[in-house]
Amino acid sequence: MGHKLMQGKVCHPHYPPESKEGESSIAPKASISNVVRKDNGMEAEDGMNLFIKLDYSAYNENKEIFDIKRLQEMLEDSQSETSVSFYSQIDSTEGSDSEVKMHKQESPPEVLPPNADFTSASRNMPSSLSGSSTKTCPYEAPRYPMHVESYGLKSGYLVSSESLGSVSDLSLSVLDIRDAGMCPSYKCYLEYSTSPSSSPAREFRCFGHFQSKLLRRYHFPESVHRGSFARKKLNFSNVGKDWIVGQSTYENDNCIEFLGRFEKAVSTLCFSEGLGKCEDAGIEVTSVWEMLTNKQEAKYSTLKQEILHQLLDIISTSKEEKVVKTSVYILLVLVSEDKSIIDDIRRKELHLYCLARALKTNIQEAVILIYLLKPSPSQIKDLELLPALVEVACNPNLSYQEASISLPLSPTAASIAIIEILVTAFDYVTNNMHLAAISSPQILSKLVNVARNKNLEEGVALAAILVRCIRLSGNCRKFLSQVTPVDPFLHLLKSSELRAKYAALEYFHEILRMPRSSAIVLLHQIRQLGNINIMHTLMACIQQAHLEHKLLAANLLLQLDMLEDSLGKSIFKEEAMEVLLEAIASEETPSTQILSGFILSNLGGTYAWTGEPYTAAWLVKKAGLISNYHRNIIKNVDFCDPCLQEVEMDAWSSKTARSVIKFGSSVFNALAKGIQSKTRSVSRDCLIASTWLGCEMAVMGTSNLRYSACEILLDGVVNFLPPGFELDERVLACQCVYNYASGKGMQKLMKFSEGLRESFRRLSGVTWMAEELLRVTDYFLPAKPQRVSCVHSQILEASSHVSGAATALIFYKGQLFSGYSDGSIKVWDIKGQTMKLLLEVREHKKAVTCFTLSDPGNKLMSGSADKTVRVWQMVQRKLECVEIIDIKEPVQKLGSSGDKVFVVTQGRGLKVCQSSRIIQTFCKNKHVRCLGISQGKLYVGCTDSSIQEVDILHGQKQEIRPPTNCWRMHNRPINSIIFCKGWVYHAGSTIEGSRFKEWRRRNKPEVTIGMAKGTNVLDMAVVEDFVYLSCSSTPSILQIWLRGQQRKVGRLSAGSKIVSLLTGNDIVLCGTENGLIKGWIPL
């Protein structure tokens, strides 16, 4: 035999042998897998037969690998008279004398003589091979007499360091090479060629490349996975124990049999026209898996793990969509039968990335597996799945419904649930970033269609997402109220599961925070679709739900019941009111107390489309708060919002107030406890509710209940009147006293201290109700000398040294805006005695010198030394510049009336910018220093001490105060003009004041305050009792003068030169040249 080997030709297994007469070339017949391993990856190619290209360099690297063991196997195979099928040798139940038992440590070959020189043959192998010819070596070996029908040759197999044991026509098994060899650049597998009668025409062999560690662990003989097909028993040993399968049947205890059946089922699934048309294959997959699960041996468990690994590997790397989709489907089949597979998948490395890749390539079923794996929110975020999830939710592919298995949930439900995590599980900024990606009308219109499915899981998750979208943007609320059907959420509300009820209640609570007219329309839809059953459903929620959701149910139940014309009590109202009042009075659970107070305070009110409650704004508007300046001190209210002008508001408010008042003193006792609450929002909401009910009681007239309510509420209400509280709260408290304290209630008012009268006096310039109450108290209380506290307490301080001097201050939308010498504008939120910086913009190129409010006050204007006026607007809590007006000269002062903007510059005259932005110049011969607007007139102070009056509508000009004739007074300009409670004050070298009506007729001012010689007033502010002056002689000191007595009573130190001054809500604020802002209130 050795002689034959020395003389024969060695044919490389990757090429066919030379043709000889009487011999037929062996044609490759093996079916090829759809998956090719490359560089630890997997590449799927088009077509059924994928051929792996020969790596010629690998041959050169491995040509010296032949050893005695391999040659022995070749010789044994060549002497065999019959062809041996790999599967037939496994299935065979008969022994053979030629079988050689292989163990963990194999014996050295004994067939050839020890002096046979096979290494020389190895060394003389050709260094390069041609695909069309066969190279010969000095020592030629005979070809194997193998049957062509049984074996086929795969062209293009990689020659690795341990795959050259067979050198003729071979067919390799399912368990072929994956990690064998020293060449990592190409990893391939060889497969067994089945007969046409036993295998499908097209075979999907995804498990033909198991990891070598699996083969090594159970010691598959090397002849099996290296291409030798001698008749040998396969020995599996685990932890020193041999597992001999030679006598087992193909249907029972054989890993190869299980794998073969599994592969055939996979092949059927992969090449079927639809998953629903291969039910038998799906059943076969589950059957094989169940049998593997029932086996207790460790090798079966490892085989299961390897199958999972291969499936995930295909999902991760294959470019063939159908192959990936089939693999995902198989995993879903397995998961539906065995939930523990989820834990097995979770232990695989990069398992989420495999499934995420499939999802991003539109394999929508992959999202189900991702959801079942329960990844952490941070993992979901890192996968960047949101666009793919939105695509699944908005454009679902319903092909999965063809499948015979019952999926744990639909792809739509899984995607909606994961989107819910992305919009709820992170911080405010991250959640809103994700919400912004799905909040467009195009996406929302498709998302709401999911609700029409009336699927419980989808509905609950969708409700949570929509709630978050609504909270993000008022535009979402408005859009959803128009396109979202009500019925699916009523379906959730009627569900037997509490979580579905809670989701529906939260959705209705959020969506109904809209203008009252729109809310009434939606309530009618709910009542019509839900009929009387919805009322009983809400009653059941009140009795069974968690306390927070009891309150939500009570809120919806009350509003639905208010739609009825009857003002009498009903069982629905009684149950709902009992829950609300009990929660308001109890401080044991602050969160529910806050919610109950919020519900009751806005039950008869309205909201903006942003969801901001506007009940307090509606009430202060009724109290006579008309000044744009005062309105902009109030936070989070746009007084130009149409919802404050709705005609439905008055009727709804009156109806709901009368229904609540029917419950008597219990309502006012609960409100009194709420007003005394330590939680600030609760006390505020109870004040709003008390004021709302008081407005209706005042219309109803004097009654014992009204007097009783005055006795109960007044002690707590008057605490909101002094300076230091929000302006709207002070006005509401004043309105509340005005409505309750009439008749016998006035006696209660007389018991309060002198401080109450002073509070009314300070508010008399804000609301007519305070002025009326001041007259009443002056009438009833004994006449006493007026005592005014001149003590001021500093409550605010904020610095911004890097921005330079704080050159301008103004209140806008309830927040303090400050302009700086570096061109920046900062926005501050004032809460109590703290200032918090909210945002900063810098668009001016030079110092911001002044601010003013547009008429009617919904926009802010800033003037700058960069010769521009910028118009600003708050959009979704961000300051945006909406217009730039070019003035051509540095801007010093600003004013506005209607669509006109008045600009004081460094040059001569007053610039008037029309709505068309055409600029005209008035008072061309005057150097203007300041301006003031009152009652349709513009008053201009000049450097020559004159004051000019300009009719804004007609443009007529008149001189009110002539210039001084004394040459010594030429440098005494008018630096400030202020209007306060019917008086006009102007300041320069002196302060003069007159009643506005008498100003023209009187030659002399009614009030004069003289300054020290050489002192000019640089800036001035006037409030109820005080005049605040910033003078040239003491630029860092703010002087305090009594307005009524014209005497100096105090001083406030700013620390450095004062460059801006502002008063509002009894607070005096000043900005300094070092960027410091300080604030004081009178005690």
The pLDDT assigned to 245 comes to 36
The range of the structural domain enclosing residue 772 comes to 667-783
Nearest partner of 485 among 531, 447, 536, 515, judged by Cα:
447
Q: Is the predicted pLDDT of residue 236 greater than 60, yes or no?
A: no
What are 861-882's pLDDT values in tens digits? Answer: 999 999 999 999 988 778 899 9
- What per-residue confidence (pLDDT) applies to 86? 31
**Residue 1003 clears pLDDT 90, i.e. is over it:** no
The answer to the question of residue 1006 being in a domain is no
pLDDT bucket at 524, cuts 50 / 70 / 90:
very high
- How many distinct structural domains can be found in the chain? 4
Whether residue 443 lies inside any domain: the answer is no
206-215, 594-603, 620-629 — which one is most confidently predicted on average? 594-603
Residue 632 lies in a domain: no
pLDDT of residue 309: 79
pLDDT band of residue 934 (cuts 50, 70, 90) is confident
Give me the pLDDT at residue 210, please.
43
According to the model, what pLDDT value does residue 731 have?
94
pLDDT value at residue 324: 83
Give the pLDDT confidence score for residue 159 in this predicted structure.
Answer: 35
Say what the pLDDT of residue 823 is: 93
Query: So what's the pLDDT on residue 1044?
Result: 78
Domain finish residue from 247, 273, 291: 247
Give pLDDT tens digits for 800-815: 778 889 999 999 999 9
Same domain, residue pair 712 and 744 = yes
Q: Among 296-310, 343-357, 576-590, 1062-1076, which stretch is predicted with the lowest mean pLDDT?
A: 296-310
Which segments within 449-577 are labelled E, that is strand?
A: none
Identify whether residues 265 and 371 lie together within a single domain: yes
Where does the pLDDT of residue 673 fall: very low under 50, low under 70, confident under 90, or very high at 90 and above?
Answer: very high
Separation CA 1005–CA 992 (nearest Å): 6
What is the 3 state secondary structure string of 915-966? CCCCEEEECCCCCEEEEEEECCEEEEEECCCCEEEEECCCCCEEEEECCCCC
For the chain, first and last CA: distance in Å? Answer: 119
Question: Is 925 part of any domain?
Answer: no
- At residue 263, the pLDDT reads 66
> For position 109, what pLDDT does the model report?
39
CATH number at residue 842: 2.40.10
**Is the pLDDT confidence value at 133 over 60?**
no
Burial 298-309 (b: 16+ CB within 10 A, else e): ebbebbbebbbb
pLDDT per position as a tens digit, 568-592:
668 898 999 999 999 998 888 889 9
Q: Give 88's contacts (C-beta < 8 A, 6+ positions apart).
A: none
Structure tokens at 354: 């495999």
Give the least confident one: 215-219, 409-413, 854-858.
215-219
Residues 688 and 763 in one domain: yes
Q: What are phi and psi of 404, to 5 degrees?
A: -85, -15
Closest CA to 55 of 168, 226, 181, 225: 181
pLDDT digits (tens, 9 = 90+) for 608-621: 999 999 999 999 99
The answer to whether the beta carbons of residues 123 and 256 sit under 8 Å apart is no
Q: Is the pLDDT of residue 349 over 80?
A: no
Question: In the prediction, which pLDDT does 892 show?
Answer: 93
**CA–CA dist 66, 935 (Å, integer):** 109
pLDDT band at 1030 (very low <50, low <70, confident <90, very high): very high
User: In the predicted model, what is the mean pLDDT of residues 333-361?
Assistant: 83
pLDDT > 90 fraction of the chain, expressed in percent and rounded: 30
Whether residue 550 is predicted with pLDDT greater than 80 in this model: the reply is yes
In a domain, 992, yes or no: no
pLDDT tens digit string along 50-84?
Answer: 223 333 333 333 433 444 444 445 444 444 443 33
pLDDT of residue 546: 87
H or E, element range at 852: strand 848-853
* For residue 116, pLDDT beyond 50: no
Of residues 957, 787, 812, the one with CA closest to residue 873: 812
> How many other C-beta atoms can be found within 10 angstroms of the C-beta atom of residue 335?
21
Average pLDDT over residues 230-251: 34
Same domain? 280 vs 144 = no
Q: Which of 371-385, 571-585, 783-797, 901-915 has the lowest mean pLDDT?
A: 783-797
Q: Is residue 932 within 8 Å of 895, Cβ to Cβ? A: yes
Q: Are residues 730 and 869 in the same domain?
A: no
pLDDT of residue 834: 87
Q: Mark whether 768 and 818 lie in a shared domain.
A: no
User: Are 62 and 209 contained in the same domain?
Assistant: yes
Six-digit token pair at 902?
Answer: 């008045």
Task: Identify whether the C-beta of residue 45 lies closer than 8 Å to the C-beta of residue 328.
Answer: no
- pLDDT tens readout for residues 439-459: 888 898 888 888 888 888 888
Query: What pLDDT score was predicted for residue 593?
Result: 93
Residue 1075 lies in a domain: no
852 domain-assigned: yes
Categorize the per-residue pLDDT at 191 as very low, low, confident or very high, splitting at 50, 70 and 90. Answer: very low
Residues 286 and 316 in one domain: yes
Indicate whether 209 and 272 sit together in one domain.
Answer: no
Asked which of 856, 886, 916 is the last residue of a domain, the reply is: 886
pLDDT higher than threshold 80 for residue 399: no
Rounded to whole angstroms, the Cα distance separating 217 from 299 reads 9
One domain for residues 297 and 202: no
- Specify the pLDDT at position 280: 57
Residue 566 reports pLDDT greater than 70: no
Task: Identify the three-state secondary structure at position 904.
Answer: strand
Q: How confident is the model at residue 273 (pLDDT cuts 50, 70, 90)?
A: low
Whether 675 has a pLDDT exceeding 90, the answer reads: yes
Burial of 431 (0-12, 13-18, 19+ CB in 10 A): middle
Is the pLDDT at 98 greater than 50, yes or no?
A: no
Please spell the DSSP secondary structure of 1020-1074, one letter per residue: EEE-SSEEEEEESSSTTEEEEEETTTTEEEEEEE-SS-EEEEEEETTEEEEEETT
Q: What is the mean pLDDT of residues 409-432?
A: 90
pLDDT of residue 1070: 94
Per-residue pLDDT at 994: 86
Mean residue pLDDT across the chain:
74
Burial string for 880-897 (b: 16+ CB within 10 Å, else e) reads eeeeebebeebbbbbbbb
Predicted local confidence at residue 261, as pLDDT: 66
Region of poorest pLDDT, from 590-594, 713-717, 974-978, 1011-1015:
1011-1015
Report the share of the chain in percent with pLDDT over 70.
69
Confidence of residue 567 (pLDDT cuts 50, 70, 90): low
At 740-793, the pLDDT tens digits run: 887 666 777 777 767 788 888 889 888 999 988 888 887 776 665 566 678 888
Instruction: Examine the pLDDT at 156 and tell me if it is beyond 50.
Output: no
**What mean pLDDT comes out for the span 252-259?**
58
Tokens representing 443? Answer: 């996406």
Neighbours of 924 (CB within 10 A): 9
Show Cβ contacts of residue 797 under 8 Å, excluding neighbours closer than 6 positions. 835, 1076, 1077, 1078, 1079
Instruction: Summarize the confidence of residues 933-951 as an average pLDDT.
Output: 87
- Nearest CA among 912, 822, 895 for reference residue 861: 895
Torsion angle defined by CA atoms of residues 84, 90, 96 and 100, in that order, rounded to the nearest 10 degrees: 90
Question: Is 32 among the domain residues?
Answer: yes
Q: Which of 427, 335, 320, 411 is nearest to 373 (CA)?
A: 335
Q: Do 112 and 178 belong together in one domain? A: yes
- 818/1079 Cα distance (integer angstroms): 13
Where does a domain end: 861, 886, 911?
886
The answer on 274 and 242 residing in a single domain is no
Q: What is the pLDDT of residue 304?
A: 75
- Strand 1076-1082 with 860-864, pairing: unpaired
pTM exceeding the 0.85 threshold for the entire prediction: no
In our burial notation (b when 16+ CB lie closer than 10 A, e otherwise), range 940-958 reads bbbbbbbbbbbebeeeeee
Q: What is the pLDDT of residue 448?
A: 87
User: Within 10 Å of residue 296's Cβ, how many Cβ atoms?
Assistant: 7
